[in-house]
Amino acid sequence: MILDELALKYSSDKSSSFHNYTKYYNLIFNDIKDNSLNILEIGVATGASLKMWKEYFINSKIYGIDIESSCKKLEEDRIKIFIGGQDDPNFLNKTKSEIGSDLDIIIEDGSHYSVHQINSFKLTFPFLKSGGLYIVEDLHCSYIPSYRRGESIIGVNFFKSLVDELNLNGKSPSCNKEFMANKELTISQLEKENKPINYYEKYIESILFFPSMCIIKKC
């Protein structure tokens, strides 16, 4: 069964009948769906998405995070749910310890508040394996005043700013003669030469934007 059919089966709002995120998920997940993966979704609600992921990723473990304690009852074989705040560092670190290994995929579908989207990314992106994917959903909420909560930076602008983080620092200074003479300089060489390498420049391989979604791949 294809992913959108599963989304419709479980009434997930990721389906073509609502957000249509499955259209883009199919592009990035199709080649890895049979792998053994550790997948975390932030935001459980009715558990529809977790059930969809379980049936789609047939060899994977599915984890969920939600602040509502009632979500715990939605656990089943290959689905484990943790109760706590999506931007609580102590809770998130404890959750990571209980999972016991780095994650292959993190999907942020929590409160949709910009502050939570930003803080959840900052806190959990380090939990990903090399080559792992971090997906932020519902970025259209950045344009809805009630989801901004007076924050100085909205969610979509934060993730757009990561494009600058990847391009404006140590490994991309086109005006640097040394760099232009040797375009094969590695990050480790640049660090030894005290070039400015920030965290995101070092650990983000690529960033994709789709309608209401941002997909970030870890180096």
Q: Is 150 exposed, middle or buried (0-12, 13-18, 19+ CB in 10 A)?
A: exposed
Choose among 110, 104, 90, 106: nearest CA to 44.
110
Give how far Cα 7 sits from Cα of 3, 29, 145, Å: 6, 14, 29
**DSSP reduced 3-state for 199:** helix
140 flagged as catalytic: no
- The residue assigned the tokens 């602040």 is 67
What's 18's DSSP letter? T
- Exactly one of 19, 112, 116, 140 is catalytic; which is it? 112
**DSSP reduced 3-state for 183:** coil
Residue 203 to residue 107: CA distance in whole angstroms = 18
User: For 88, what's the count of Cα atoms within 13 Å in the CB-facing half-sphere?
Assistant: 13
Q: Which residues are catalytic?
A: 112
